[in-house]
């Protein structure tokens, strides 16, 4: 503390006695007329001494402690020139769809199917342009979906099922195999195959997603099928 006081006293004494800075002082000798002041090196040389300057924001020269953010250069990449493709849910004329649905857990899968059919109707897909194919369980969905896709009759396929966890690892095996089968069906057929299979911890979760308080995932799958069919049919033609 003593060292700091001595240093400050020396600096003020220097400023008071230095004829080059005396003009900055008021008659009282202790108040600066400018909003800026400099701490000068005690030794005078022919070259300017290093100094630290402080300027309140908005007065005098720019404050060196506040550096303005550099203006971002405009990218040469013009987004206006990018062609953005998206499917439409309103242009459904001429599209045909199939629903592959598992009989197992029909108390869940049937409401899912009804939700899908209701959505197709709302979006102007004719009843005669939708076929429903029942399979024994979720494990068989992928095989049938791929067969339908390769037939060339459909623009989108909705895959519906319900896998509910039990006391064994059978749940994981069926759920993983079903998801892999639906994905492979789309890749191998070139037709969008939409995953509308529920994988739930218990029956309450499944029913809540089949028209219950969480909504109807069959309806969501049908809407996705319409959008993907539009994307493929209008923009991604071979």
pLDDT (0 to 100) of residue 19: 46
116: three-class secondary structure by DSSP: helix
Residue 133, CA distances (Å) to 70, 100, 130, 145, 191 in order? 62, 5, 10, 9, 16
pLDDT block averages, 10 residues each, the chain of length 238: 51 49 45 43 50 49 52 60 85 94 97 98 96 97 98 98 90 95 98 98 96 96 96 83
Instruction: Give CA angle at 149 (148, 154), nearest 5°.
Output: 90
Separation of alpha carbons 87 and 209, rounded Å: 25
Catalytic residues: 170
pLDDT (0 to 100) of residue 70: 56
Separation of alpha carbons 147 and 191, rounded Å: 11
Residue 15, CA distances (Å) to 34, 66, 133, 145 in order? 14, 26, 95, 90
State how far Cα 139 lies from the chain centre: 32
pLDDT (0 to 100) of residue 86: 84
């Amino acid at each position: 503390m003593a060292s700091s006081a001595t240093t400050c006293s020396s600096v003020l004494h220097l400023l008071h006695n230095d004829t080059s800075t005396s003009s900055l002082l008021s008659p009282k000798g202790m108040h600066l007329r400018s909003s800026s002041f400099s701490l000068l090196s005690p030794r005078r040389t022919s070259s300017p001494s290093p100094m630290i300057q402080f300027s309140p924001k908005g007065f005098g020269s720019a404050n060196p402690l506040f550096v303005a953010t550099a203006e971002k250069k405009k990218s040469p990449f013009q987004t206006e020139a990018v062609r953005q493709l998206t499917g439409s849910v309103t242009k459904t004329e001429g599209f045909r769809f199939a629903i592959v649905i598992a009989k197992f857990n029909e108390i869940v899968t049937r409401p899912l199917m009804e939700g899908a059919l209701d959505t197709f109707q709302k979006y102007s897909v004719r009843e005669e342009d939708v076929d429903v194919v029942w399979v024994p369980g979720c494990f068989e969905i992928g095989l049938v979906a791929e067969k339908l896709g390769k037939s060339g009759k459909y623009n989108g396929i909705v895959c519906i099922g319900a896998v509910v966890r039990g006391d064994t690892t059978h749940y994981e095996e069926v759920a993983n195999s079903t998801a892999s089968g639906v994905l492979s069906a789309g890749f191998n057929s070139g037709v969008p195959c939409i995953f509308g299979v529920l994988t739930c911890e218990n029956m309450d979760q499944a029913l809540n997603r089949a028209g219950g308080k969480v909504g109807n995932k069959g309806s969501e799958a049908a809407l996705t099928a319409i959008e993907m069919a539009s994307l493929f049919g209008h923009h991604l033609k071979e």
